Amino acid sequence: MTTVYLIRHAEAEGNVYRRCHGQYDSLLTPRAYEQLPCLAKRFEGVPLDAVYASDLFRARTTAKAVAQPHGLNVELRPVLREIDMGDWEDLPWAELPRIWPEEYAVWRARPWDARPPHGESVLQAGQRMLDGVRGLVRQHEGGTIAVVTHGSAIRGALTIAHSFTPEQMGEIGWGDNTCVAKFEFDGPDRLAVVYENDASHLPERLSTFAAIGWKDNKGVPETPQLWFRRADPMDAGDAGKIVAFLRELHRNAYGTDANLDPDALLADVARAQRVSPRACCFGCLESGEEAALVYLKTWYDDEPDIGLVGGFCIDERYRGRGLSGQILGQAISVYRALGKTYLCAHAAEHNARAQGFYRKFAFEQHGEYRDENGLHYRMFKRICVD
C-alpha cells in the first residue's frame, strides 16, 4: 500500500485578488505565511519518503514548509500544475462573463463540460495531475509521499478517484488553501480516497474561505467582485469621475485638494495610458457602477524596476467590503506585465488609512519623499516571481 497526501497550496494572490490564476505564476499572500506553520505542524509526525510539488511558486513554496522539518528537498514536477486557463489567465473573474458570456455560463452551470478558450477542462487537469501522481507511486511503492498541487486539479482528480460521472463533480466542493486529501494506492491503478478537502489544521482566522466570505464551498464567494474598464481621460464623463475619485483621495490624505490640478492630472493619466491602456481603470461592480479607481504612473522611469502607484481610491459606500485586494491585484497585474520588480506607493505622513492599507498587504517602508503636499513614506512590495 502506498500513501499519498494531496495538498492544496497556501493562499495565493489569485485567491484574494479574485483573479483567474491557473498556470499563471503568482506569489503567496501574507496570510499564506501564517497558514504554512499550521500545515507543517500537521505533518511533523507523519513519516514521509519524499515531497513533490508543481513547479509554480505557490505550490513549491508550500511544499518547502512540509519538506523542511523532515530534512527533505522538494522535487518539482510540471505535470502537477493547476488547470491551464488559456485566454482567461490573470483576468478578474468578474470580467469573464462580460467577455465570454456563453463560455463562462457553462463554467458556472456545467463545470465538467467547460474549457476556457485555448485551455483545458477541470477533468483534463485532474487526469493529467493524477497520472503524474500514479507515476510517483510507481517510484515509491509501499511508501508515503506528499504532493502539493492546486485546487481545480485536485477537484478533477477526486472526481476521477471516486469513479464519479462528470456530472457528479459538483458533489466535490472546493478545498480551502492548504487542505489535504489522503489517497491509498494498491499499485498505481487501484486507489481509495481516505478523506478529502480537510483543512482542520487551520484556525478560522487563517481560513481563506472565511476571509473572502465563501460560506458554501460549492458556490462563489459572497464578497463583491470587480471587473475593470479603462478610464478615458478624453471622455468628459470619465474625466469627471477620474477627477472626483482623486479629489476625494487628496482630501483624505491631506485634508484639502488645494494642490490638485485637474488638467495636469488628466494629462498625466493620458501619458500613463500611452505606456499601458490599463494604467488608469475603474473597478466596476456587476451593475457597471464605478466603485473604485486604480491609477498607475506607468510613465515613471527614474527607477526602472519600480512600478509607481498614482492612487487607489474606493467609493466610501463600498469600503470594508473586500475590494482593496482586488484593486491591488489589478495594479500588480499591470506592472508585472511591464516587467517591474517592485510596486511603490507614497503614503502621506498623516494618512493613517493609506498606511494601514499598505501594511495589510505587506508593503515595507524604505525611505521618504517630499512634495508640495508634504512628507510621504515610500512603501514597497516585491511583485516579481522568481
Residue pLDDT, tens place only, 101-151: 999 999 999 999 999 999 999 999 999 999 999 999 999 999 999 999 999
Residues in Cβ contact with 346 at an 8 Å cutoff, skipping those fewer than 6 apart: 309, 369, 376, 377, 378, 379
- Quick one: pLDDT at residue 213? 73
- Quick one: pLDDT at residue 90? 98
- For residue 314, what is its C-alpha cell? 474606493
Measured between alpha carbons, how far is 96 from 58 in angstroms, rounded to an integer?
23
Measured between alpha carbons, how far is 39 from 46 in angstroms, rounded to an integer?
12
Mean pLDDT throughout 71-80? 98
Domain 227-382 matching CATH 3.40.630.30: the answer reads: yes
Measured between alpha carbons, how far is 145 from 201 in angstroms, rounded to an integer?
19
Percentage of residues of the chain with pLDDT beyond 70? 98
Measured between alpha carbons, how far is 123 from 156 in angstroms, rounded to an integer?
5
Edge-first strand order for the sheet with 50-53 is 74-76, 50-53, 144-149, 2-8, 180-186, 190-198
Measured between alpha carbons, how far is 323 from 27 in angstroms, rounded to an integer?
19
Task: Tell me, rounded to whole angstroms, the distance of Cα 290 from its chain centroid.
Answer: 22
Residue pLDDT, tens place only, 326-361: 999 999 999 999 999 999 999 999 999 899 999 999
Mean pLDDT throughout 67-84? 98
Question: Binning pLDDT at 50, 70 and 90, where does residue 296 land?
Answer: very high
Task: Tell me, rounded to whole angstroms, the distance of Cα 133 from its chain centroid.
Answer: 25
Q: Taking the complete model, does pTM exceed 0.95, yes or no?
A: no
Measured between alpha carbons, how far is 199 from 54 in angstroms, rounded to an integer?
20
DSSP string spanning 41-81? HHHTTS--SEEEE-SSHHHHHHHHHHHGGGT-PEEE-GGGP
Residue pLDDT, tens place only, 13-59: 999 999 999 999 999 999 999 999 999 999 999 999 999 999 999 99
Active site residue 201: no
Measured between alpha carbons, how far is 67 from 57 in angstroms, rounded to an integer?
15
Residue pLDDT, tens place only, 301-335: 999 999 999 999 999 999 988 899 999 999 999 99
Amino acid symbol at 319:
R
Domain 2-211 matching CATH 3.40.50.1240: the answer reads: yes
- Quick one: pLDDT at residue 259? 86
Active site residue 222: no
CA nearest 54: which of 40, 69, 74? 74
Helix axis angle, 122-139 to 151-161, nearest 10°: 80
pLDDT at 221 over 60: no
- Break the chain into its structural domains and give their ranges: 2-211, 227-382
Instruction: Identify the active-site residue in 82, 95, 120, 290.
Output: 82
CB 307 within 8 A of CB 279: no
> Residue 315: what are its φ and ψ, rounded to 5°?
-50, 135
- For residue 374, what is its C-alpha cell? 508634504
